[in-house]
Amino acid sequence: MSTKNKIDKNHLISVIEDIILDEGISGLSIRKVASKANISIGGVQYAFGNKEGMIKAVAHKNEDDYNQQIEILSKNDNSKYAKLKAHINYIANCNSTEEFSKMSRMVTMLLQDEIILKEFQDCYTTSLDSIDTSNDEGKKLRLAFLLSEALFALLSFKYIKLSDKEQKEIFEDLKKFLL
């Protein structure tokens, strides 16, 4: 059996995520992933190439997971603002403290990588540029988008502590008044 068939890339990505969450990107190495996954260093190199490849794989897996959730939340609605509204709902639905904590920690860790940071910046620029702010609907959507992101950041950096109930109420208000 070839090495290709023995390597479970999803398992390796899970191992990489655990290392990043426990030790940050600086604690990530091919040797550490190989040791924790009980495979050879060459197997990790074969799967990802190098450390940057491992980081990109984790970022892309998280992006794919996010995109799947956006598709579900937008109910395949292809209207102009469906994806942005789905994004706001996605942020609003992350009210499980454990789930939110893991997601926000992973985003924070990944943003340490300049390439990933640039990808995030491009995504936000594209999202904001897609909003027509010449009308009230667009202006409200822009505010809702930025407020949901601000709340995510405030909670991620633990500048504020809100119960799941309080988070839900805030997002309900946001949707009621701005969407």
Q: What is the pLDDT of residue 101?
A: 80
One domain, residues 122 and 84? yes
CATH number of the domain within which 48 lies: 1.10.10.60
Neighbours of 14 (CB within 10 A): 15
pLDDT value for 2: 46
Residue 66, in any domain of the structure: no
- Same domain? 177 vs 98: yes
pTM: 0.82
Q: Which of 83, 71, 75, 81 is nearest to 140 (CA)?
A: 81
> What's the pLDDT at 19?
97
What token pair was written down for 132?
Answer: 């027509």
Predicted confidence at residue 148, as pLDDT, reads 93
Tell me, what's the pLDDT at 1?
38
Each residue's pLDDT expressed in tens, for the chain with a length of 179 residues? 344 457 899 999 999 999 999 999 999 999 999 999 999 999 999 999 999 999 999 999 999 999 999 999 998 788 889 999 999 988 888 766 677 788 888 988 999 999 999 999 999 999 999 999 999 999 999 999 999 999 988 888 889 988 888 988 999 999 899 98
| Enclosing domain of residue 175 | 80-179
- Give the separation between CA 179 and CA 164, rounded to whole angstroms: 21
Q: How many domains does the chain have?
A: 2
Those residues whose C-beta lies under 8 Å from the C-beta of residue 148, and which sit 6 or more positions away, are 87, 88, 91, 92, 171, 174
